Amino acid sequence: MTQITFPEIQVAAPDMEATRQAYEQLHQSYDAAENLDDALEVLQRWDQLRRQIDTWQAVTELRFHQDTRDEQAKQARDHCDQLRPKLTELSVNLKRKLLQDPQRPALEERMGKQAFSLWESETTTYEPVIEEDLVQESRLNAQYTELLAGAKLSFQGQTSNLSEIVKYREDPDRNVRQAADQVRWQWFEDHRETLDDIFDQLVTLRDGMAQKLGFDNFVDLGYQRMTRVDYNQQDVARYREMVLAEVTPFGEELRNHQARQLGIEKTMAWDEAVYFPQGNPTPGNDYDHMIRQAHAMFADIGYGLDDFFQRMVDGQFMDLKNREGKAGGGFCTSFDLYGMPYIFANFNGTRGDVEVFTHEMGHAFQCYMSRHQPWVEYLWPTYESCEIHSMGLEFLTWPTMEKFFGERADDFRQLHLASSLIFLPYGVAVDHFQHLVYENPTASPAERHAMWQDLETQYQPWLDYGDLPHAGQGGRWQSQRHIYASPFYYIDYTLAQTCALQFWLRAAHDRDQAMKDYTHLCSLGGQAPFQELVKAASLVSPFEDGCLSGVVKEARQWLDI
């Protein structure tokens, strides 16, 4: 593989007419193939074409996120959104042909069953009749991203964006935390109408697409779009119940413990992120120092992560500093033509930088480990499995946290474990909310806020927003990007966290085995569905009864609760 660097990657937008002809050719050659090997050779050419297109899409999306104000990047992204459904149609047609091919069993034998399962799922999610709707959906998602990226909040005499102001949630001074949260939620309150309107349009649009495709509502379509091939809504509902039964009570105790530690009567919403009276440990704001420490960390960890990180740095496959106009959040994308991932984040000087960094590096490492997978389908697994690699690495880097937090590394570990667990009730509430929203697509914005508030009471009974604007009236979900842009994605984090916590347990008892299982899982890429991958890494599926009890029990001891 060429040792390409990111600045060298230039992929032209596909010419639609030429792409259509290329597909035409593929169909003809496939039909004319005289034996299985010839047919597979045609499919290899298709694979190459898709890598080319995927790489172009990834670069275009990334450039837009790097500067949401750049007109050229915006136009390119719009163009990409326009073409996406057309490209989907072309590939879906070929997938349909393969699914119906009498020689499918032989193809499955050679390509693996998983690709076919994914296609079964995927082909139900697209018909030309929804082409315009998909373009409109991307447009609305972009509106949400731009609206949030453009927020200018003034706090303590400075102008911050939404990525920057959240750092004050970790300020040791309680008054500062509360004041910053006031400013943040006031911004949401001021944009309430727009936020409600964008979401309302999205719900109507998605429900409409579901109807056009013959689904009862968007919930079923949403699951198919996530290509969940080996579990269903009932499994997810049972999992949410388990979190409610096992983690919510633990969460209450944890918040009480946190309040005692902070010397306050109870934790208010603005106290949630702080666990120590002197403030949380931080890695500091020196970017170059962070990168040096990251080098040292991966050198200590080994198992291929050391060489891989060097390759990321050399090839400039990272954009981690926060700046004006840059989209919020963190993610990992990949350039499939070159077998290289790219990580994006917005460092703000809090411990979250370390978490986001190790998280995205986990994704990136899996992508790199799977780069020799023969089919595009297998470069990444489905998302709930992807998040095991990322959240798993967050825990597997624990022994090296001294490099970022010095003598407060133990504080970091406590806080990381506590926040990972208390995240679960929030995460399942986000999922539950989306089920309610799409099962009741005609609900009014006010009814949606009420639904969210109800769920908060159930899953996170400790929450108290005091007199904060917006969040106090059931509006917190509007700051959760996934609810707008990636419907039904969120449960994946909780399923994966349940697996990642098992890596935490294993590493504590047998580090070498945990690392071997982890790298093995990464190299499998997306060859198999979620529960098979989980089994391959010797983990217990989150859908099995009691999957959380061991972890919660050990966490209690570890956190002294």
Q: Which residues bind Zn ion (CB under 5 A)?
A: 387, 390
Looking at the DSSP bridge assignments, the partners of residue 217 are: none
Q: Which is nearer to Zn ion, 136 or 141 (CB)?
A: 141
Q: Are 367 and 332 in contact (CB under 8 A)?
A: yes
Number of helical (H) and strand (E) elements in the chain, helices listed first = 23, 5
Query: Residues with Cβ < 8 Å from 24, sequence gap 6 or more?
Result: none
Q: Which is nearer to Zn ion, 171 or 384 (CB)?
A: 384
Terminal-to-terminal C-alpha distance of the chain: 51
Q: Which is nearer to Zn ion, 145 or 358 (CB)?
A: 358
Closest CB 199 distance from Zn ion, rounded Å: 23
Q: Are 101 and 143 in contact (CB under 8 A)?
A: no
Q: Which is nearer to Zn ion, 220 or 387 (CB)?
A: 387
Closest CB 467 distance from Zn ion, rounded Å: 34
Looking at the DSSP bridge assignments, the partners of residue 160 are: 153
Q: Which is nearer to Zn ion, 160 or 390 (CB)?
A: 390
Closest CB 462 distance from Zn ion, rounded Å: 26
Closest CB 504 distance from Zn ion, rounded Å: 17
Closest CB 362 distance from Zn ion, rounded Å: 8
> Is residue 143 exposed (0-12), middle (13-18) or buried (19+ Cβ within 10 Å)?
middle
Q: Which is nearer to Zn ion, 134 or 495 (CB)?
A: 495
Closest CB 420 distance from Zn ion, rounded Å: 13
> Is residue 486 exposed (0-12), middle (13-18) or buried (19+ Cβ within 10 Å)?
middle
Q: Each residue of 151-161: b (16+ CB within 10 Å) or e?
A: bebebeeeebb
Q: Nearest to Zn ion by Cβ — which residue?
A: 390
Query: Residues with Cβ < 8 Å from 36, sequence gap 6 or more?
Result: 103, 106, 107, 110
- DSSP conformational letter for 12: P
Cα–Cα distance for residue pair 415/559, rounded to 1 Å = 9
Closest CB 331 distance from Zn ion, rounded Å: 7
In this structure, the number of other CB atoms found within 10 A of the CB of residue 92 comes to 19
Closest CB 402 distance from Zn ion, rounded Å: 25
- DSSP conformational letter for 372: T
Q: Are 502 and 539 in contact (CB under 8 A)?
A: yes
Q: Which is nearer to Zn ion, 207 or 360 (CB)?
A: 360
Please report where in the chains the tokens 């937090």 appear, as a residue.
Answer: 405
